[in-house]
Structure 1
Amino acid sequence: MNAPIRQTSTLAVVSLVFGILGWTLLPFLGSLVAVVCGHMARGEIRRAQGNLEGDGMAVAGLVLGYIVIGLSLLAVLAAILFFGGLAALIGLAGMNGSF
């Protein structure tokens, strides 16, 4: 009748918290922490053989972190393409003497 009390992985909680912070206060840094802690938490939970819980929180932190990192990379790529194209247009206009 007495079921053993399972603890929640601290790393899973940290991953989820920093995954949320990655969307609000610490955009890139929080996401990196969420991804690293999420992977560490999942490994810790697997090695505990049923004595730890929190895999869902770790996965949520991983998903939030990876989404923000992906969107950040897309934003940097878009900025490079935009400003690179703008510089090319200015360069071409300067070469034609119509600037």
Structure 2
Amino acid sequence: MHAPVRATSTLAIVSLVFGILGWTLLPWIGSIVAVITGHLARSEIRRTVDGMDGDGMAVAGLVLGYAMLALSFVGLVLVMLFFGGLVWFGLNS
């Protein structure tokens, strides 16, 4: 007797793939897509009566997407502070 095969959420796969792409080829676009599809995938998995696989992939995509967005924001703030400090130092010299 075979166990029933559970489907894997396509949105979860997309979230994981774009989460990885967000760290490699498509920094911000990939991360935003990963976050959106990750939330949609988790919602789809919870709504399904018979259960779907892919929650771990959706969470991984969410983590990768949010981490990339947060680190890029911190990096942008640091660059702005650095160049702002250079301008301030140049004006006061």
Query: Taking structure 2 as the reference length, what is the TM-score of the superposition?
Result: 0.94
1:78 alignment counterpart: 78
Segments of structure 2 that go 5 or more residues without pairing to the other structure are none
What amino acid sits opposite 2:33 in the alignment?
V
2:41 alignment counterpart: 41
Structure whose CA Rg is larger: 1
What amino acid sits opposite 1:3 in the alignment?
A
Counterpart of 2:74 in 1: which secondary structure?
Answer: helix
CA displacement at 1:90 relative to structure 2: 0.8
Counterparts of 1:39 and 1:50, CA distance in 2: 19
Structure 2 counterparts to residues 3-82 of structure 1, below 5 A: 3-82=3-82
What amino acid sits opposite 2:23 in the alignment?
W
What amino acid sits opposite 1:54 in the alignment?
G
1:96 alignment counterpart: none
CA displacement at 1:5 relative to structure 2: 1.7
Counterpart of 2:92 in 1: which secondary structure?
Answer: helix
Counterpart of 2:49 in 1: which secondary structure?
Answer: coil
Paired positions, count: 93
Q: Which runs of 4+ in 1 moved over 6 A?
A: none
Higher strand share: 1
CA displacement at 1:84 relative to structure 2: 0.6
RMSD: 1.0
Counterparts of 2:79 and 2:50, CA distance in 1: 46
